[in-house]
Structure 1
Amino acid sequence: MTMSKIKIEGVDINIIGAMARSIRFLEKMITGSVEKYSLTKPQLDVLFVIKYADGNSLKATEIAEELCVSKANISGLIARLESSNYIQRGVDPEDSRAKVLLLTEKAHVVLNEISPKYFRMTEDILEKFSKEEKEKLLEQLEYIESCMKKGGVHDEK
């Protein structure tokens, strides 16, 4: 059952196409739900990455790596989040010369409101799958991601 009206020969390319479409639909759903907070989907991604990082803080370069965006792109996102009082800069506990990004109280309040809805939405979408199927799907997607990061297939050894 394919949702696309475009038919390309070969199931492999159709899997990648379905993944890309699924991400775009997810982004639209999330964008609609965070507009009232004057947030964009990429800004929400930054807040979630900081919230779930060890120590609830990260350097800008670590956020860029996690979200697969350029340093220039992350700089703009950080500047807007900082000016909207969603994040603040702090001192890296491991290197007092370095700065880390931390969530403000405003960000915690918004994330505490958004998170249950977001997690419930993802659970609803994936409720058809058993725990084992979800674990297998996650393993498969992580393998695909690792191949894409390296620019092709590679041994897992």
Structure 2
Amino acid sequence: MNKNTDTFIPKRDVSEFQHLVAAIFQCCQERLQYQSERFGLPDAELRCLMQFEGERYLTAKTLAYRLNVAKSRVTKLVSSLVKRKLLASRPDPADSRIKLLSLTPAGGLLLKEIGRFRFEVHRTVLEQFSDEQRGELLHALSLLSRHMKSVKDMMA
């Protein structure tokens, strides 16, 4: 998978990278748990709701793809969010077999509140860095994201 097969990467570097990624992932998982508790939604429903950011309508099929879950799982998530009056479901005017899902006004307000919370969490993390460190961090994370995506694409 390494583009430059002549590059030697010490085992300790790979181990440290694995450890750091795992620690960051764990921290993110804990934040997601806190977020779920704060907004009174199970994590899966919260993630489903967040898919509507910037979207007018979505279908169950689109949600299943984005969330990487079975359509039957999305049906349960959507049903719960409809019961909570956070999502609305209506037939597609072009094809009545398809249901268009959209945020209700209450769902839109909750999504904005979640967005503000997430923004503040990330802003608070970035406050811990100097301007120079912040620039270096964002550059390094951009590189990391790009390289992780390229390895994922090679694995597919």
Q: TM-score scaled to structure 2, two decimals?
A: 0.71
The alignment yields a C-alpha RMSD, in angstroms, of 3.0
Q: 2:50 is matched with which residue?
A: 48
In structure 1, distance between residues paired with 2:150 and 2:91:
32
In structure 1, distance between residues paired with 2:150 and 2:71:
21
Show structure 1 runs of 5+ residues with no match: 1-8
Maintained 8 Å contact 1:51/1:57: no
Q: 1:133 is matched with which residue?
A: 137
1:34 to 1:136, Cα distance in 2 relative to 1, 3 A? same
The alpha-carbon deviation at position 99 of structure 1 amounts to 2.0
Q: 1:85 is matched with which residue?
A: 85
In structure 1, distance between residues paired with 2:136 and 2:46:
29
Q: Which has the larger radius of gyration?
A: 2
Alignment of 1:100 with 2:100, yes or no, is yes
Equivalent of 1:34 in 13, 36, 39: 39
Higher relative CO (CA 8 A, sep ≥ 6), structure 1 or 2?
2
Identity %: 22
Moved more, 74-83 or 86-95: 86-95
1:93 to 1:48, Cα distance in 2 relative to 1, 3 A? farther
Q: 1:76 is matched with which residue?
A: 76
Q: TM-score scaled to structure 1, two decimals?
A: 0.70
Maintained 8 Å contact 1:92/1:100: yes
The alpha-carbon deviation at position 31 of structure 1 amounts to 1.6
Count of residue correspondences: 141
Maintained 8 Å contact 1:57/1:102: yes
Show structure 2 runs of 5+ residues with no match: 1-13
Q: How does 1:104-119 map to 2 (within 5 A)?
A: 104-119=104-119
In structure 2, distance between residues paired with 1:25 and 1:113:
19
